[in-house]
């Protein structure tokens, strides 16, 4: 299974969906031409295959088929052939999407994607309920309130985690090298902590971001202003664990350090640029040496910052390749009451390279100086997470036992400080 955990051809269940689109079963007199002789991406050729399969269901299946059930499964299957962020929403989910009441629902303070079919935790907000429950970046949720995440879309899995503030969600958590465990987490709004700063090596300011949101740019502007008044002449911006924020917010953070040129691009179908985000020199407040630190938990808006730094040659990026996120979806309803949530645009670097790719080698932003932490774990794309005794775990609701990791030197930060000091001397 690819890193996206999606097969980029129509699944067998997906072929049934055309029944709903063509309004019923066509009369089929015989077998049509072989799919091997047809162009894979030709819609007409695919429709012939669908007609063939539907004909066999109508004429040869041993039971009387429930075509409503077939249709629902087929519509879901078609979405499974797209990226993880696209999804088929049945009538209930579609109504919920437009229901203003859902705006009050909250999660547990984590950002997700889909890896090997599971709900995968990219990052956890510091101080959130997920953080307090011991959920970590790199964890997988096998079940959410008893529902297998491999059986549902990323959208539905994330929706199951969300709910009214104060309610609880039961999660079966898979973690590499550990036995599966079940934990209950209380839902609640997660407030992103303000940036933290410390002075290292006399004049190097290390600024740690915990997320990016509507207040980050102004808060960061204040932090930078204060540390420069204190004599800081160079900076390290730590983007590890930063997975929140919008494309615009990421570009605004980059603009604090980059005076000119394009900072980010929104691309649509066939990689057509839909929008560019140009730097405004009046908003830049620091021109000194800057080094970024990234890892696998860096995604979304923080990748906008990293890509802008890399392509504008503003400073080195130390650490590991970022996760690879950033897409926009639009909901397209259909007559059954349901519809499709389809990816219609991707976030991209100034040159138009999207952050979301086909595999780990094309995902995210590659650092200019790669430094791996000893405890770094790449997403596992197999069932090896399940090769453990499922009964050897805490009872639901039990406090998870998390080992206290021995203090380790932050090799990524050490390298970043070395590079920013060297850049200052060379300036």
CA end-to-end span of the chain: 48
Q: What is the CATH number of the domain that holds 145?
A: 2.30.42.10
Q: How many domains does the chain have?
A: 3
Residue 256 lies inside a defined structural domain of this protein: yes
The answer on 185 and 215 residing in a single domain is no
Domain span at residue 147 reads 95-190+382-386
* pLDDT given for residue 39 in this prediction: 58
The answer on 342 and 236 residing in a single domain is yes
Tell me how far apart the alpha carbons of residues 272 and 343 are, in angstroms, rounded to a whole number.
14
pLDDT at 14 over 60: no
pLDDT, tens digit (0-9, with 9 covering 90-100), for 224-267:
999 999 999 999 999 999 999 999 999 999 999 999 999 999 99
Q: Residue written as tokens 């932090």?
A: 223
pLDDT at 59 over 50: yes
Residue 264 lies inside a defined structural domain of this protein: yes
The answer on 185 and 200 residing in a single domain is no
pLDDT, tens digit (0-9, with 9 covering 90-100), for 380-419:
655 555 554 444 444 444 444 444 455 689 999 999 999 9
Tokens of 33: 């031409």
Inter-residue contact 298 to 321 (CB < 8 Å)? no
Cβ atoms < 10 Å from Cβ of 279: 22
* pLDDT given for residue 361 in this prediction: 86
pLDDT at 320 over 60: yes
The answer on 23 and 44 residing in a single domain is yes
Tokens of 90: 């049945």
Residue 166 lies inside a defined structural domain of this protein: yes
pLDDT, tens digit (0-9, with 9 covering 90-100), for 140-161:
999 999 999 999 999 999 999 9
* pLDDT given for residue 169 in this prediction: 99
Mean pLDDT of 46-54: 82
- 340, 410, 406, 384: which is closest to 174 by C-alpha? 384
The answer on 357 and 215 residing in a single domain is yes
* pLDDT given for residue 74 in this prediction: 82
Inter-residue contact 244 to 250 (CB < 8 Å)? no
Taking phi over 0 as left and psi of -120 to 50 as alpha, with beta for the rest, 247 belongs to: alpha
Residue 88 lies inside a defined structural domain of this protein: no
Residue 398 lies inside a defined structural domain of this protein: no
Residue 367 lies inside a defined structural domain of this protein: yes
Q: Virtual CA dihedral for 192, 198, 203, 206, nearest 10 degrees? A: -40
3-state secondary structure of 229: helix
170 or 394: which carries more pLDDT confidence? 170
Tell me how far apart the alpha carbons of residues 417 and 33 are, in angstroms, rounded to a whole number.
64
For all residues of the chain together, what is the average pLDDT? Answer: 86
The answer on 359 and 222 residing in a single domain is yes
The answer on 201 and 178 residing in a single domain is no
pLDDT at 184 over 70: yes
The answer on 349 and 212 residing in a single domain is yes
The answer on 224 and 348 residing in a single domain is yes
Tell me how far apart the alpha carbons of residues 169 and 183 are, in angstroms, rounded to a whole number.
8
Inter-residue contact 35 to 49 (CB < 8 Å)? yes
pLDDT, tens digit (0-9, with 9 covering 90-100), for 352-377:
999 998 888 889 999 999 999 888 77
* pLDDT given for residue 213 in this prediction: 97
* pLDDT given for residue 43 in this prediction: 76
Q: Indicate the pLDDT class of residue 295, thresholds 50, 70 and 90.
A: very high
The answer on 33 and 157 residing in a single domain is no
The angle formed by the CA atoms of residues 292, 364 and 353, to the nearest 5 degrees, is 105
Strand partners, 291: 236
Whole-prediction pTM value? 0.84
Q: Indicate the pLDDT class of residue 67, thresholds 50, 70 and 90.
A: confident
The answer on 358 and 217 residing in a single domain is yes
The answer on 130 and 156 residing in a single domain is yes
Q: Quick one: what percent of the chain has pLDDT higher than 70? A: 84
Tokens of 297: 């938990």
């Amino acid at each position: 299974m690819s890193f996206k955990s999606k097969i980029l051809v129509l699944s067998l269940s997906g072929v049934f969906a055309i029944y709903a689109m063509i309004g019923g079963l066509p009369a089929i007199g015989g077998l049509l031409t072989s799919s091997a002789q047809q162009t894979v991406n030709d819609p007409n050729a695919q429709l012939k295959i669908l007609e063939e399969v539907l004909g066999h269901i109508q004429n040869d299946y041993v039971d009387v088929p429930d075509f409503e059930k077939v249709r629902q499964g087929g519509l879901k299957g078609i979405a499974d052939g797209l990226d993880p962020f696209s999804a088929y929403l049945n009538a209930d989910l579609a109504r919920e999407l437009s229901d203003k009441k859902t705006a009050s629902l909250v999660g547990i303070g984590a950002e997700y994607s889909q890896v090997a079919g599971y709900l995968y935790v990219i990052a956890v907000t510091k101080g959130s309920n997920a953080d307090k429950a011991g959920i970590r970046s790199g964890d997988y949720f096998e079940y959410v309130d008893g529902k297998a995440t491999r059986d549902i879309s990323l959208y539905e899995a994330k929706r199951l985690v969300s709910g009214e503030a104060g309610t609880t969600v039961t999660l079966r958590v898979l973690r590499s090298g550990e036995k599966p465990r079940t934990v209950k987490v209380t839902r609640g709004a997660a407030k992103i902590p303000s940036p933290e700063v410390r002075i290292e090596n006399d004049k190097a300011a290390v600024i740690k971001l915990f997320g990016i949101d509507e207040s980050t740019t102004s808060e960061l502007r204040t932090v930078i202003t204060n540390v420069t008044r204190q004599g800081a002449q160079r900076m390290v911006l730590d983007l590890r664990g930063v997975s929140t924020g919008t494309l615009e917010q990421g570009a605004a953070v980059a603009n604090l350090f980059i005076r000119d040129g394009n900072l980010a691009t929104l691309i649509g179908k066939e990689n057509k640029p839909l929008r560019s985000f140009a730097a405004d020199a009046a908003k830049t407040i620091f021109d000194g040496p800057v080094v970024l630190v990234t890892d696998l938990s860096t995604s979304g808006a923080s990748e906008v910052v990293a890509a802008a730094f890399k392509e504008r040659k503003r400073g080195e990026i130390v650490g590991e390749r970022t996760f690879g996120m950033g897409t926009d979806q639009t909901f397209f309803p259909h007559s059954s009451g349901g519809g499709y949530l389809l990816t219609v645009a991707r976030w991209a670097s100034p040159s138009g390279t999207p952050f979301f790719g086909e595999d780990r080698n094309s995902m995210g932003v590659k650092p200019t100086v790669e430094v791996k932490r000893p405890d770094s774990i790449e997403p596992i794309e197999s069932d090896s997470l399940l090769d453990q005794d499922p009964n050897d775990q805490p009872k639901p609701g039990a406090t998870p036992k998390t080992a206290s990791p021995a203090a380790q030197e932050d090799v990524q930060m050490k390298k970043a400080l070395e590079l920013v000091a060297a850049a200052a001397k060379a300036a």
